[in-house]
Chain A
């Protein structure tokens, strides 16, 4: 009996049009868990470095978290993994909402897509019935509209749809996969577009069984309450109008400037979108046969409708916002700063911009950086009116103009749609000096103001687009008052003892020791990989330990939930071992594709750190992780984790 997972993968080859339901190896779950772990194993096994990202042989894996569809609150996420055309490295992005649980309810833990369709299609999964259907009528539609149309077509409101927008269809590198109030944004939508899959629609009515029913549910029932009551988890900022901290401290505009003191009370007021429109009514003039026109100015204001949650989670992190013109936008975590990140001169059309990004299906973190980059090039005369025919004079117009060009890959938008790094090299003429990306990926938001050693390490070695996917278990900044620190540590169930000590002794203005930094960077990152394998939301776990130290889920209580749900005996050490296996496997995928120390050293260009200092940090970190001097997992490390086949392969290729 398989608990908490279905035991089946759906293998779809779009070139051949074949669909297979394949039983998965029961051992995989004990070694890699589900979600990203199981997906990484497939990418290692089946996508050798000779396979180009746009090759039909590249895989796109939608892998539901191991605990998704169990009663564990907040376990609902799906990992989307592939090889990125932007970096030619492993790429992974998570998707919340309702899609993953529905997939498991349909009887599959993951969908593995290979090959390419000959024309735009969508995949329809209804339990054992799986179809590849024509999507010509969905071409160019926004993802939310696509979901509505598919539900109408298939006559079932309960279908869950993950879809790409126009940007994905045009293979824009920053294309997102949108679903309900969530999206997998960081660089996976382009592969879905390349395979000509417009959408995946899922409906499932099967049971998911758990190993220890009564014990598990009793524990979960308490977690519902704890999560709801816990003010340190969920998206804390989404309901706050005061964005002073982010606006003052994060770098805006292509990640290279800061505007301290920019945030003001007036701006807070302006945050709300308000559109004035004139309405004309006709009414009879007194006692005559004439009508007169009555002009009235109606103010159509944006307003929050409600907070919505993802599947089986009591936090309402996704604000549904009414936008003028009867549209609804789902404010995703943190995204309301997107426009501000690029250009903070005008805030009033922030929501309009966000809605446009959602409609095109574009990453809200990357795009503002790309657009600010284009505006900088225009300002510097590298991009001219010839490159940008009909370029509007106002900010709002320019923003919309560039978005549309990028989503359609028209004119200069074609280069920009490859991301800042590649675009800079394509455009040339000195554009390279305006590129502030790391490992060929836009980096937002850059926390240069807190040059802690752990942050340097995470930026240099993380390989993610946003630091928010790497940080989160250990506090970002030291707390001045020792008493407060002591109180923090007392309730800090998540942290192993050594971290408590480091935090207690950490004074403001003081750099952490290299030993501490190495441990912290490792722990922060490890917890994200735990979440990605289990389908647990980082806002309840890996990202939320740093504020208040009371994340509902952490390395010390997750093993019990996993054991009760799956029947696999597991403790904290066991969970960390599996995570180390997953992380080294992903590192090996990238090493096989050419990732070396020199790439990570290049991060020094945008981090405010001396080269020698970063070298020293990397030395310590590589040693701690059991990697060789070039950042490649050492043979002992791999063999010790049961990845003997990986070390053999690396040696066979002369990498180790």
Chain B
């Protein structure tokens, strides 16, 4: 098995909520880094990291833009941690229709954190560099992963049908459907 394990470098930004002072320097730096030309314009609305802030509830959560989704959650959790109320969305990195975080203000297209990929590579993503209070820290970690090819989308669907109805039934149905053309 071990020869199938592949070495992977996982880049991680650790967030210490207790150290965040809510200054949004991370947003400023991120928007500057991703401007063209670099640092030519600044606009937190284009940032791929946002500090979700609720001052009166003492909530400050820097959250990084992740994947796009076309549908919002059907329901939400809300968390109470140490007497403070957080909504699920406070921690969620998704660019989703339920909120206007992580969307290009002009086009509405989703934004996603790329860990400041650059040539030559930065020592740390820019948001981490400017976060002097230390709420954001950067870590690279080596992981070994099993990289055996996984099933494609259609195969997953077919497997589910086989599991449910049995192979023979699926084959019969498939034959019948293909005859109909």
Using a CB–CB cutoff of 8 Å, the interface residues on chain A facing chain B are 69-71, 73, 98, 105, 144, 148, 156-157, 180-181, 204-210, 213-214, 216-217, 221, 224-225, 227-229, 305-314, 316, 320, 322, 328, 330
Contacts and interface: CB of A to CB of B under 8 A. Distances in A.
A314 B55 contact: no
B90 to A, nearest CB: 10
A71 B21 contact: no
A460 to B, nearest CB: 38
A117 B20 CA distance: 40
A313 B41 contact: no
Interface of B: 18, 20-25, 28-29, 32, 35, 37-46, 52-58, 60, 100, 105, 129-130, 132-133
Contacts, number: 109
A78 B130 CA distance: 23
A245 to B, nearest CB: 26
Contacts of B60: 306, 308
A221 to B, nearest CB: 6
B44 A208 contact: no
A320 B55 CA distance: 9
Given A180-B55, A314-B25, A225 B43 contact: no
A70 B35 CA distance: 13
Contact of B43 (A157, A181, A208): A208
Given A205-B43, A213-B38, A328 B55 contact: yes
A71 B23 contact: no
Contacts of A214: 37-39
B58 A306 contact: yes
Given A310-B23, A312-B28, A148 B41 contact: no
Given A70-B42, A105-B43, A213-B39, A311 B58 contact: no
A308 B43 contact: no
Given A157-B54, A214-B39, A306 B25 contact: no
Contacts of A71: 28-29, 32, 39, 42
Contacts of A309: 21-23, 133
A212 to B, nearest CB: 9
Contacts of A308: 21-23, 55, 60
B56 A148 contact: yes
B45 A313 contact: no
Contacts of B44: 105
A216 B60 CA distance: 28
Leading 4 A-B pairs by shortest Cβ distance: A309-B23, A228-B132, A205-B105, A205-B45
Contacts of B105: 205-206
Nearest to B53: A157
B120 to A, nearest CB: 15
Contacts of A98: 24
B131 to A, nearest CB: 8
Contacts of B45: 105, 204-206
Contact of A224 (B25, B42, B52): B25
A225 B132 contact: yes
Contacts of B100: 156
